[in-house]
Amino acid sequence: MAIERTISIIKPDAVSKNVIGKIYDRFESNGLKIVAAKMKHLTREEAEAFYAVHKDRPFFNDLVDFMVSGPVVVMVLEAKNREIMGATNPENAAEGTIRKDFANNTSENAVHGSDSLENAKIEIDFFFNPEEVYVRTIG
Ligand code: ADP
Ligand code: MG
């Protein structure tokens, strides 16, 4: 079976709270492996392109403003992360999820995660060259 890969982004709110390591730990503690990672300050053009699927939504401009407000940490993870992230609105996020514990509100919600395998591949290609994504051969 092919290994499932997905993207996670630690958003500017969580980076500014200095909880990068705590969020890495949530993934690792739940058995996910980080196979690529980098810090990046998105340009407006990059944020608009990344969230193009939401371009007609009323929150699009605020979302882009927020995502360029500071650096983010982009990761490729092996295996699923949506359950670990929690619901978009942290008030609806399950106990023990990243958004329940670290999000401010529906907009500043600590992390992004790919919503399907198909979009995961597109999002991985958006941020990483193939040689930047590693095979974890030991362990
Ligand atoms: P998710 O990140 O859970 O997949 P969406 O894809 O629906 O959620 O939305 C992308 C991002 O846009 C959210 O993570 C959040 O930062 C922002 N967002 C979504 N819905 C709203 C809203 N109603 N008001 C403000 N921001 C929102
Ligand atoms: Mg989404």
Gyration radius (Cα) of the chain, Å: 14
**C-alpha torsion sign, points 135, 4, 31, 18:** positive
Q: Rounded mean pLDDT of 54-68?
A: 98
Q: Structure pTM?
A: 0.96
pLDDT-derived band at 111, boundaries 50, 70, 90: very high
Q: Is 40 helix (H, G, I), strand (E, B) or coil?
A: strand
Cα 39 versus chain centre, distance: 12
Q: Nearest 10 degrees: CA dihedral of 48, 105, 73, 60?
A: 0
Residues within 5 A (CB) of ion ligand 2: 115
Residue with tokens 């619901």: 87
The per-residue pLDDT for 58 is 98
Residue 139: pLDDT band by 50, 70, 90 thresholds? low
Q: What is the pLDDT of residue 2?
A: 63
Mean pLDDT of 32-37: 97
Confidence of residue 138 (pLDDT cuts 50, 70, 90): confident
95, burial (CB in 10 Å: exposed 0-12, middle 13-18, buried 19+):
exposed
Mean confidence (pLDDT) of the chain:
96
Mean pLDDT on 20-26: 98
**Pocket of ligand 1 from Cβ distances under 6 Å:** 54, 59, 63, 88, 106-107, 109, 112, 115
Rounded to the nearest whole angstrom, what is the distance from the C-alpha of residue 133 to the centroid of ligand 1? Answer: 27
